Structure 1
Amino acid sequence: MSNYYSAVTSSLYVYSPLTNGFYPRALRDVYDDAGSWPDDGIAVSDVVYREYQTLPPPEGKMRVAGADGLPAWGDIPPPTVEERKAEAVTALSVLMAKANAAIAPLQDAVDIDDATEAERASLTAWKKYRVALNRLDLSAAPDITWPEIPA
């Protein structure tokens, strides 16, 4: 117990369960002047600091305040409905950009009456795909049936 106590009392950092953050003791005056030194700070050993601040978390985990007030690894929560909708909006934007990039040169060939039958067929397929993308109901995320990208 005395080794733990001496390691903690000579520690360079405190951990705040409220902010789930580490604060260097050497900068306490700066934090005090800013009114942001944590009232709930707990002195932690350098080993704890390194494990929870500098090393990457285990797969699927994130740092949380444990029941004892010290840092611990907790499960990353699943995305919220709003986050899933935002992911769907991003995915739609990427797919639309891809469709637009494919359509532009094909449309140019049609516009100047220089398109092959294969290019005309490809243009039609890409335009149908783009229409299908526009008709998606993103509010159903993550249960969206995405249209198949043309070959």
Structure 2
Amino acid sequence: MNIGFSAKTKAFYDLDEKAVYIQNASWSEDVKSISEVLWLNHCGQPPKGKIRGADEHGMPCWIDAPEPTEQERIAEAVNIRNAMLMTADTEIRQLKIIEEICALTSEETQRLMSWKKYLADVYRIEPGNVSSIRWPDVPV
């Protein structure tokens, strides 16, 4: 395999397909040939907290991931909140169905109340105040 790496784009290129990259205006002029071992070590998922970067020689390496922006942190909080609300909603609906078909046991009644309180607590979280969010514990 004939592989190249661009420090500018932090991407790998199949050097045998250079003409195709040029034709599609996606070729980077700083592409350097690299070994298959170097490619294998940097083509997959990065280690936690790292992203693909380039060292001082323009070769691929793992570098520290930048801190997320405020907008990214808010978006992540919204995603977490939505997932928590969906989980709570599912649990509550299942317990309500059981309640409609047959009476809930005292344990199930307690679980239903716990999930309702959890849903209310999650619902009231303001994702825009990321630094002050205190995620409630999931009922057991």
TM-score (norm: length of structure 2) = 0.75
Aligned equivalents of 1:105, 1:148: Cα separation in 2: 20
Aligned equivalents of 2:52, 2:74: Cα separation in 1: 25
String of CA shifts for 1:83-116, please: whole Å, max 9, x gaps. Answer: 2222222222222122222222433455578445
Give secondary structure in 1 for the equivalent of 2:43. helix
1:67-146 matched pairs, under 5 angstroms: 67-108=56-97, 114-146=103-135
Give secondary structure in 1 for the equivalent of 2:68. coil
Query: Size of the alignment, in residue pairs?
Result: 140
Letter in structure 2 aligned against 1:74: I
Whether contact under 8 Å (1:99, 1:130) holds in the other structure is: yes
Q: Which runs of 5+ in 2 are unaligned?
A: none
Higher-Rg structure is 1
Among all aligned residue pairs of Structure 1 and Structure 2, give the percentage whose two residues are the same amino acid: 33
Tell me how far 1:119 sits from its aligned partner.
4.2
1:3 match: none
Give secondary structure in 2 for the equivalent of 1:128. helix
Residue 29 (structure 1) aligned to one of 14, 19, 35: 19
CA RMSD of aligned residues (A): 2.9
Gap change, CA 1:28 and 1:130, over 3 Å in 2: same
Aligned equivalents of 1:108, 1:58: Cα separation in 2: 44
Give secondary structure in 2 for the equivalent of 1:139. coil
Q: Which runs of 5+ in 1 are unaligned?
A: 1-10
2:9 match: 19
Give secondary structure in 1 for the equivalent of 2:9. coil
String of CA shifts for 1:33-61, please: whole Å, max 9, x gaps. Answer: 2222212222334443333336x645543
TM-score (norm: length of structure 1) = 0.71
